[in-house]
Amino acid sequence: MPSKYPLQRKRNYSIGIILIGMIVTLGFSGIFGTILWDMARRDRAKALDGATNLVATIASDISRNIELYDLSLQAVVDGLNLPGIDQLSPLFRHLLLFDRAATAKDLGSILVIDSTGKLTIDSLSAIPSDTNFSRRDFFQVHQQRAHAGLYISRPWIAPSGEYLISLSRRLASPDGSFAGVVAGTMRLSYFHDLFRKVKLGDEDSLTLMRTDGTVLMRTPFSIDSIGANFSTSTIFEKFPKSPSGWYESIAVSDGLKRLFAYQQIGEQPLLMTNGLSVDAIYVGWRHDAWLIGSLTLLLCGINVALVVFLARELRRRGRAEQQLAILATTDALTGLCNRRGFDEAIGREWSRCERAREPVALLLIDVDHFKAYNDEYGHQLGDKVLSMLARRIAASVQRPCDVSARYGGEEFAVLLPGESIAGALHVAEQIRADVLSLRSAEAGCDLVPTVSIGAASMLAGAGSPGDLIRFADAALYDAKRKGRNRIEAARSVQSMAAE
């Protein structure tokens, strides 16, 4: 029979191709996955750079205006400490204390408040109103803290309905005790107009807050957000450890996930944040990811289909080659090995037994008077008899390594690797007895031919396969010469040694 190794090799090739296909598919996926990851990283970095630059620009504008206003407040503080300031007329005192910055757009009046909270001087009015600010946070802070510096108040509503914040500094007596407050007001509309100039996404945000979390202005604008407290925001996990930076978090205001860039405004107790919607950042990336992912799936699908097709074709080809190998080494009439298959088998088994130092036995079987049988009963019935005899011979071969073959026209061979002459004679007798047991009714005639068998066995290392065939053929000749329908064993030095 043909070797199964070629078919096994084909299966191994198929497995190898499938593994290569899987590696290529994973390689495609890895490459495209890396590309997508890098694209997402770049989109995020680009968005963060833009947010950081925007925050820095707005913070710079706000810081500059607050510093200018603070200079006006400090000028008032210094002016109030001048000798004889109280003896000047209100007109000259206004000219001395207040400069043009106090009347700039979005900046309200500068107020001088005494130690009881009473308004004593108003930059916009020669006669100050009867107002007391002792309950305002900016008054209480300076009253309690001598070194509060510039203080920016919580938002409050003026009698006119405007939302304001106060920028204030402490007034001190010559002995250092609390003497009142100089406070300037700033309209929140300044921040609102400044924020409106910035083009933001639908879900992006801009927020200006004090360092205690109090919101001064926010976009998208909501009046309810003015004065709200965001002290639970993630920004206060970063600040004041770092005066600027970024973080990603769920917004306290509306629950949307945003990427935030923040920065402290100068040395003031203010923070500016720009929150970018994470979903909006990755909109373009998701579109590209869908296209690239579809292309990846298509390429992987094509690759898998090609691999499956190629592996299937290899298996089909392997089976076809196996079938062809079987057909090439099988006798069509009897189903036994043909002469080619027998030659391959004896060469293969001879090498194996030679390595194992084992004997190899051979039976050559010839149908007696078969030519006369064909002449009398016809070739069709003769072929039928050969098929029946072949089945009997094949049934007598039990071990997987044993090989039965049609050696010639009416001649058969049985190869018995590892068998001694005694074992070979036992098998030969079983074959001869099985042939004799055939009934003429089964053959469709009155006579079933007998068989003559020649047996030989020799150590594989003591000669060659040709020697074994020659000894078995000589034994067969003796069987036919001595009357046929008998078994003869080869008598030679090699066969005697094998016994």
The pLDDT score that the predictor gives to residue 495 is 41
Lowest mean pLDDT: which of 129-138, 191-200, 237-246, 293-302? 293-302
For residue range 381-427, list pLDDT tens digits in order: 888 888 889 988 888 887 888 899 999 889 999 999 999 999 999 99
Q: Quick check: helix, strand or coil at residue 167?
A: strand
For residue range 87-127, list pLDDT tens digits in order: 776 666 676 677 654 555 667 788 899 999 999 888 877 78
Quote the pTM value.
Answer: 0.60
φ, ψ dihedrals at 275, nearest 5°: -105, 125
For residue range 362-385, list pLDDT tens digits in order: 999 999 888 888 888 888 888 888
Cα dihedral angle (342, 348, 353, 359), rounded to 10 degrees?
Answer: 20
The pLDDT score that the predictor gives to residue 270 is 93
**Rounded to whole angstroms, how far apart are CA atoms 354 and 356?**
5
The pLDDT score that the predictor gives to residue 8 is 56
Give the mean model confidence (pLDDT) for residues 434-446: 62
Q: pLDDT-derived band of residue 4, with 50, 70 and 90 as boundaries?
A: very low
Residues 6+ apart with CB under 8 A from 405: 331, 336, 337, 338, 339, 341, 342, 345, 412, 413, 414, 415
Q: Does residue 55 register a pLDDT over 70?
A: yes
Residue type, 18: I
Q: pLDDT-derived band of residue 497, with 50, 70 and 90 as boundaries?
A: very low
Q: pLDDT-derived band of residue 76, with 50, 70 and 90 as boundaries?
A: confident
441 exposure class (CB count in 10 Å sphere: 0-12, 13-18, 19+): exposed
Q: Which residue has the tokens 């007598």?
A: 396
- Quick check: is 499 catalytic? no
Of 410, 411, 419, 488, which residue is the catalytic one? 410
Cα dihedral angle (198, 203, 204, 208), rounded to 10 degrees?
Answer: 90
The pLDDT score that the predictor gives to residue 5 is 47
Q: Which residue has the tokens 């010559």?
A: 174
**Rounded to whole angstroms, how far apart are CA atoms 318 and 8?**
8
Give the mean model confidence (pLDDT) for residues 336-352: 89
**Rounded to whole angstroms, how far apart are CA atoms 213 and 42?**
31
The pLDDT score that the predictor gives to residue 10 is 54
Do 405 and 341 touch, CB atoms closer than 8 A? yes
Give the mean model confidence (pLDDT) for residues 341-350: 90
The mean pLDDT of the chain is: 84
Q: Which residue has the tokens 């094509």?
A: 302
Q: Which residue has the tokens 């803290």?
A: 145
Q: Does residue 487 register a pLDDT over 50?
A: yes
Lowest mean pLDDT: which of 62-66, 134-138, 146-150, 299-303? 299-303
Is the omega angle on the peptide bond into residue 220 within 30 degrees of 0, that is, cis?
Answer: yes
Residues 6+ apart with CB under 8 A from 251: 205, 233, 257, 258, 275
Interior/surface letters 451-462, b for 16+ CB within 10 angstroms, e for the rest: bbbbbbbbbbeb
**Rounded to whole angstroms, how far apart are CA atoms 398 and 499?**
21
31, 168, 296, 301, 304 from 307: Cα distances, Å? 20, 78, 16, 10, 5
The pLDDT score that the predictor gives to residue 95 is 67
The pLDDT score that the predictor gives to residue 9 is 56
**Rounded to whole angstroms, how far apart are CA atoms 269 and 167?**
11
For residue range 133-153, list pLDDT tens digits in order: 999 999 999 999 988 889 999
Relative orientation angle of helices 421-436 and 379-396, to the nearest 10 degrees: 140
For residue range 216-275, list pLDDT tens digits in order: 999 988 888 898 998 888 888 888 889 999 999 888 878 889 999 999 998 888 999 999
Please count the residues of the chain. 499
- Specify the long-range contacts of residues 431-436, CB closer than 8 Å, at least 24 apart: 431/363, 431/365, 431/392, 431/393, 431/396, 432/485, 432/486, 432/487, 434/392, 434/395, 434/396, 435/389, 435/392, 436/485
Instruction: Name the CA radius of gyration of the chain, rounded.
Output: 55
Domains of the chain listed by start with CATH number: 81-187 (3.30.450.20), 329-498 (3.30.70.270)
